Amino acid sequence: MMSSKPINYELEKNMEVISQLDAIVGDAVDNVLVDPDDCWQPSDFLPDMSNPEAIEDIKLLQMRAEGIPDTVLTSLVGNMITEEALPSYQTYFNLLEGINEERNLLSPSGWVRWSKAWTAEENRHGDLLNKYLYLTGRVDMKAVEQTIHRLISNGFDPKSESDPYQAMIYTSFQERATKISHVNTGKLADKAGDHVLSKICKTIAGDEARHEKAYKTFMSKIFEIDPSGAMVAFEKMMRKQIVMPAVLMGEGGSRQSLYKDFSEITQKVGIYTGWDYARIIQHLVDHWKVEAVTGLNDMAAKAQDYLSNLADRYMRLADRMKAPDEVKLAWLK
């Protein structure tokens, strides 16, 4: 007789709590996310190819893009590639325990509706950046396309163990990290004289800010219902460290270090740094009032102590981290 799989009571409890949030999440689909008819679309920022003057508009775009430093352009490509791996993210979300129990993408549940509408909004980011980069004429688009192909093919594991609590912490962190990355890229584009690209980056960052707020709200509700479980999940996710979604972009290719090279560039030019990582931890600790939570069990109380000092630890690490003297560029002509 085959032995049955042991029941994970912690995960069962987390699934039950997640199901209680379904109505709140459904409300967020209707009030936080934007209807496609009202949402900005990539074509709002790009030359209209039906316009007789489109060629002139492309020339102007290319003139503006000439001033963007290679490091910033490479960082932008890396950001775009991350945005393009959405099939993996929607799949990951729907495999979380308690999120899509029917295993049906047409389910009317709030969580399933959210997973689709959220990734649909995110999909515009990659579409817009991809077309913009193509039109600059400065990017080796075939190399970019091969990286996107490889990243989607490789899949994605944020190490959240199918636990919906850890997933909400991951997405809260990741949306904020992406927002910071796009804001900083926009500032550097502005400095380089490409005000259209700056506006694009800031507009995308605005979407990420809305999504970040929603995920932090979902997690706040979990802290209200199950403070000990939420605290332990937060600690678990932070001990593993947040793995960025594009981490497998080089896996299987001739340049395995692609993600490391990209990360070194974002650190060097200040688009996304070790200090940003530390500040995000502190922001989440403050937002969820981690240090003020009471009534915790012993394990959660230990997690609370760990989390309360974590940002300072990472800030000290960031202070000691040296940006590389030289960085290896990728994806440029």
Residue among 71, 178, 266, 273 flagged as catalytic: 178
Q: pLDDT of 22-51, one tens digit each?
A: 999 999 999 999 999 999 999 999 999 999
pLDDT band at 3 (very low <50, low <70, confident <90, very high): low
Q: pLDDT of 81-103, one tens digit each?
A: 999 999 999 999 999 999 999 99
| CA–CA separation, 97 and 164 (whole Å) | 6
Tell me if residue 118 is catalytic.
Answer: no
For the chain, how far is it from start to end, CA to CA, in angstroms? 62
Tell me if residue 211 is catalytic.
Answer: yes
**Residues with Cβ < 8 Å from 14, sequence gap 6 or more?**
97, 98, 163, 164, 165, 226, 229, 233
One-letter amino acid for residue 229 of the chain? G
Planar angle of CA 249, 250, 255, nearest 5 degrees: 155
Percent of the chain at pLDDT exceeding 90:
95
Helix (H) or strand (E) holding 201: helix 195-225
Residue among 122, 194, 212, 261 flagged as catalytic: 122
**pLDDT at residue 2, as a whole number:** 55
**Residues with Cβ < 8 Å from 117, sequence gap 6 or more?**
29, 33
Residue among 22, 74, 111, 125 flagged as catalytic: 125
Instruction: Report CA-CA distances (Å) from 77 to 82, 266, 275, 298.
Output: 9, 11, 22, 45
Residue among 207, 212, 235, 261 flagged as catalytic: 207
Query: Can you read off the two tokens belonging to residue 217?
Result: 């709200």
Tell me if residue 122 is catalytic.
Answer: yes
Tell me if residue 91 is catalytic.
Answer: no
pLDDT band at 324 (very low <50, low <70, confident <90, very high): confident
Tell me if residue 283 is catalytic.
Answer: no
Tell me if residue 74 is catalytic.
Answer: no
Tell me if residue 140 is catalytic.
Answer: no
**Residue 273 DSSP symbol:** -
Over 80: is that where the pLDDT of 4 sits? no
Residue among 22, 97, 163, 175 flagged as catalytic: 175
